[in-house]
Structure 1
Amino acid sequence: MPSISRRSSEMPLSPIRKLVPLADAAEERGVKIYHLNIGQPDIPTPQVAIDAIKNIDRKVLEYTNSAGTLEYRQKLVEYYNRFGINLNKEDILVTTGGSEAFNFAFLCCFSYGEEVIIPEPFYANYSSFANAVGIKIKPISSSFEDDFSLPSAKEFEKLITPNTKGIFICNPNNPTGYLYTEEELNDLKDLVKKHDLFLLSDEVYREFCYDDNKHFSALSLKGIEDNVVIIDSVSKRYSECGLRIGALISRNNQVINAAVKFAQARLSPPLIGQIAACASIDATPAYAESVYNEYIQRRNMLVEGLNKIPGVKSLLPKGAFYTMVKLPVKDAEDFCSWILSDFEYEGQTVMMAPGSGFYNSPNRGHDEVRIAYVLNIEDLKKALVVLEKALAIYPGRI
């Protein structure tokens, strides 16, 4: 039998999804699982999107332009203009989810063997995208003790080598919930300009910035317009994970033109997804306000509840809908497995994402988990009870 490729052998398992077999087995036993491991909101999708799908009046569901429909790209220009970001439709490539935007960005900005610096902890699939295209991640550490703030430009510069081609941030951050400030991004801007690097920014959570904190986009940085590449998606903004509609955005026409060639190879992004995403931009301000207020309530209740559990520590996220949580355990991955396979409380258990999977450096995050507050408050309250009961009897507690 021929062997599979080395690339596929080296592809890491998703820490967010690797425990799915244990969850499936628990559900087969009749256990109810509170899924706090994945960013799948239970928030309703805007009705205008649902109606747009219901009212499709086409005899053929055809290919679209490889860069996305003209209507949707023009609508995205209007959307970004709301944030004071001026774009042309030619600056936007519609992708099959944010995942494809990450893949295209890495393919277009980096050659095989080149390096990208990413603050850790970071979204685990960045490692998968980098591995798939043969580039190397150089992690720069942020810490729980410093609220996961962005390391200084001086610390970034220590990691720059002749092979370094870019810096990649997520703002607001997944998994930490940290929101990078305008001052922090301007420090990065000077470094990017000095070394002529790409600055890639994952901004899919831009609407979710709390406590009067405002999102500052890398697209608003002056003087490095050709260096900035943005990844975006409707998955979280409109609770449309299943649409698989994202976007790659850059004023650097060489990047977009290169990405178009990859886009042509996959033909087109989903037509129906673009129809719904286009309609979603016209969702009422009341929709956005209600979603925002719901996440504020969930965040406040969850973080307060977590910090009341003996030995548990959670920071208050400034954005997104995740928090990294320190647990009083020797091995959080073992705990996450155990709570699914060997524990239940009143027929319930909790699924979380082990923190170590969000670090590139070895031996980090061993006592941390990422929790997504994507469930309604009543379910979050029940999940907290289950978590406290489990920690009280877990054999690996410290």
Structure 2
Amino acid sequence: MSSLNRMYEMFALHSNSAREVNEPSIALSAGVNWMDSNKFIINLLKEELDSGLTHKSYGRSSGFKFITDIISHLESDICGKAFKPSVIMTNGTANASFLICSFLKKNNRFKRGDNSLMINHGFPFYSGLSESFGLKYSECLLPKASLIKNQRYLTPISQVVDKIREIKPRLIYLILPNNPFGEQYSKEDLSTLQECVLKEDSFLIVDRVCMMPWDDFSKNSNVFFSGIERGNVFVVDSFSKAESVSGLRVGFLLTNKINEEGFTDLIRIKYLNPRSFGTITLAISRVLSYLNYSIEDTEGAKYTRMKNLVNKIVEIDYPILNKQALVPLFEHENIKLYLEETEKRKQTVMSNYDYLLNKFKKESLIPISLEAGLSSAVILDQMKADSELNDVNKLASQFNVGVLSESCFRSTPNNDENYFIRIGLSIPTQMFTKGIDILYRFYKNK
């Protein structure tokens, strides 16, 4: 069974167990969609529809130019670069990655039978993506003994580079921050990786979907600008997932101007326009999150910077845009609400993380991390690989606790002694602490 099918099988197991006891499952591996949406975002989306801001955002295959310009300017500003990447709107990051593979295949950048490589454990979608395009999929993983010795889940970048040189993959995947571990490479490591990618003339997809609005992605994003400009690196991201409105499926990819036309042709032939909701609200929410969490200012100074930036954006000449309807949406009270709601969501994650640390810090064989994103992992001596599926089934059927374990995040068999569990930090704190207590007792009694 593929790792993606395994994940969906576990989702079904959790749902069935919840039905049997007639109460919601404690989803300890839940993603961001379990968090309450930002009230500012919901209010603004309503205003956006009522005022007609998005009624005419149609007719451009790469997405509404007002939105793509906002993101292009923002990414360039974050990285302090003159180069402005081309932005293509997509139906989430999965669709963005599929478009990238379609583009590369159409332009003969890879052929059936070529290698692809996932760096570390990762979201199982990518193994299926590679296989659907006829690529051989492999993973750059270390044995658990090495991870325990390193006291870190991520494979050292020197060994990643060695693997790339050995198998010569045409396509490489990097999830930043890592899902499920919550770890990320340093700026220096990412620079080393990109140098190797460019030297080998491979293609790298950097998936930033797990970055949250309070994460400072400016620390690492500028590393990839030279690769994006060269056309060997693509960054995929999502507005809607970061703001807990995942069902809207508003994603985007970053590429260079030369590649933009090829992506536009692919979208135009199949869909005419991007299969996503061209929402100005979610684009500008990314601007607000950047200004709030990347700049050390007082609240008043932050508001002034945000207001000035919004005014600057509004001054851009977009004839079809009802700009007068846009300005009132970003009054002080609205921006203040965004900041308060975002901080509230962040505190839920941090409170859950602190509880997880207090409960499992001493027992976990590898330190529990949260360098960015909203998931961590726990690996215990009692988590034996040969009992992984049985343990997961028992947790669901006997205790109504749903978890995603290691087999969901790798395509190769786990021949090590232990397995890990991904811990999502997004569910309400009361439910989270109850689930962690059950998990602790379950393994303590094994």
TM-score, length of structure 1 as denominator length: 0.82
Give the structure 2 partner of residue 371 of structure 1.
423
CA–CA distance in structure 1, aligned partners of residues 228 and 76 of structure 2? 19
Residues 1:215 and 1:235: Cα distance change in structure 2 (over 3 Å):
farther
User: In structure 2, how many angstroms separate the alpha carbons of the residues matched to 1:238 and 1:329?
Assistant: 33
Deviation string for 1:151-196 (max 9, x for gaps)? 3335533443676213321111111111111110121122123212
Q: For 1:233-312, what aligned pairs fall within 5 Å after superposition? A: 233-251=238-256, 253-254=258-259, 256-264=260-268, 265-270=270-275, 272=277, 274-281=279-286, 283=288, 285=292, 286=339, 287-307=341-361
Residue 228 (structure 1) aligned with residue 281 (structure 2): no
- Whole-angstrom distance in 2 between the partners of 1:130 and 1:213: 27
Q: Which residue identity is paired with 2:132? A: A
Match 1:38 to one of 25, 30, 44 = 30
CA distance in 2, matches of 1:157, 1:312: 26
**1:208–1:319 contact (8 Å) kept in structure 2:** no
Decide whether the 8 Å contact of 1:71 with 1:278 is kept in 2.
no
Instruction: State, as a whole percentage, how many aligned pairs show the same letter.
Output: 20
The residue number in structure 2 matching 1:321 is 374
Corresponding position of 1:5: none
Q: Distance in 1 between matches of 2:225 and 2:276?
A: 33
Contact kept, 8 Å, 2:375 with 2:424, in 1: the verdict is yes
Question: What is the correspondence of 1:2-151 to structure 2 with a 5 Å cutoff?
Answer: 13-29=4-20, 30-55=22-47, 56-57=49-50, 58=52, 63-84=58-79, 86=81, 91-109=86-104, 110-142=110-142, 144-145=147-148, 146=150, 147-151=152-156
Alignment of 1:383-394 (within 5 A): 383-392=435-444
| Paired position in structure 2 for 1:7 | none
Cα 1:364–1:90 shift into 2, 3 Å: same
1:244-265 CA-partner distances (Å, limit 9, x unpaired): 01111112622x3332233221
Separation of aligned partners in 2, 1:34 and 1:160: 43
Structure 1 position 99, deviation (Å): 1.0
Match of 1:6 in 2: none
Q: Structure 1 residues 268 and 15 mapped into 2: Cα distance closer, same or farther (>3 Å)? A: farther
1:215, distance to aligned residue in structure 2 (A): 3.1
- Give, in whole Å, the separation in 2 of the partners of 1:352 and 1:162: 33
Asked if the contact 1:355/1:368 (under 8 Å) is kept, the reply is: yes
Q: What amino acid does structure 1 have at the position aligned with 2:243?
A: Y
Q: Decide whether aligned partners of structure 1 residues 150 and 261 sit closer, same or farther in structure 2, where only a CA change above 3 A counts.
A: farther
Once the 2 structures are TM-superposed, how far is the Cα of residue 336 of structure 1 from its aligned partner? 1.2
Comparing 133-142 with 289-298, which one deviates more in the overlay?
Answer: 289-298
What letter matches 1:21 in structure 2?
A
| Cα distance, 1:87–1:132 mapped onto 2, change above 3 Å | farther
Q: Root-mean-square deviation (CA), in Å?
A: 3.1
Q: Secondary structure at the match of 1:216?
A: helix
Partner SS, residue 361 of structure 2 = helix
How much has 1:351 moved relative to structure 2?
0.7
Listed one character per residue, the Cα deviations across residues 304-358 of structure 1 (whole Å, up to 9, x for unaligned) are 22336x67765222121111221413322221122112x12xxxx2111121221
Query: Which letter does structure 2 place at the counterpart of 1:34?
Result: I
Give SS of 1:205's match. Answer: coil
- How far, CA to CA, are the matches of 1:314 and 1:232 in structure 2? 28
Counterpart of 2:325? none
> Which range is displaced more, 278-287 or 245-254?
278-287
Deviation at 1:72, TM superposition (A): 1.3
Q: Cα gap change, 1:156/1:123 in structure 2, threshold over 3 Å: closer, same or farther?
A: same
Taking a change above 3 Å as real, the CA distance of residues 305 and 214 of structure 1, as seen in their structure-2 partners, is farther
Bigger Cα displacement from structure 2, 114-123 vs 14-23: 14-23
Name the SS for the 1:357 alignment partner.
helix
2:36 counterpart letter in structure 1: P
Contact 1:72/1:278 (<8 A) preserved: yes
Kept in 1, the 8 Å contact 2:205–2:233? The answer is yes
Q: Which amino acid aligns with 2:117?
A: I
Give 2:413's aligned residue.
Answer: 362
| Structure 1 pair 225–245 and aligned structure 2 pair: CA distance change class (3 A) | same
| Alignment partners' CA distance in 1, 2:36 and 2:281 | 14
- 2:306 corresponding residue in structure 1: none
Segments of 5+ residues of structure 2 without an aligned counterpart are: 105-109, 293-338
Q: Secondary structure at the match of 2:9?
A: coil
Asked whether the 8 Å contact 1:204–1:233 carries over to 2, the reply is yes
1:333 to 386, 389, 408: 389
Structure 1 spans left out of the alignment, 5+ residues: 1-9
Give the drift of 1:232.
0.6
Richer in helix (by share): 2
Aligned pairs, number: 377
Shift of 1:101: 0.8
Q: Deviation at 1:219? A: 5.0
Contact kept in structure 2, 1:52 and 1:275, CA below 8 Å: no
Q: Distance in 2 between matches of 1:315 and 1:84?
A: 30
Q: Secondary structure at the match of 1:215?
A: helix
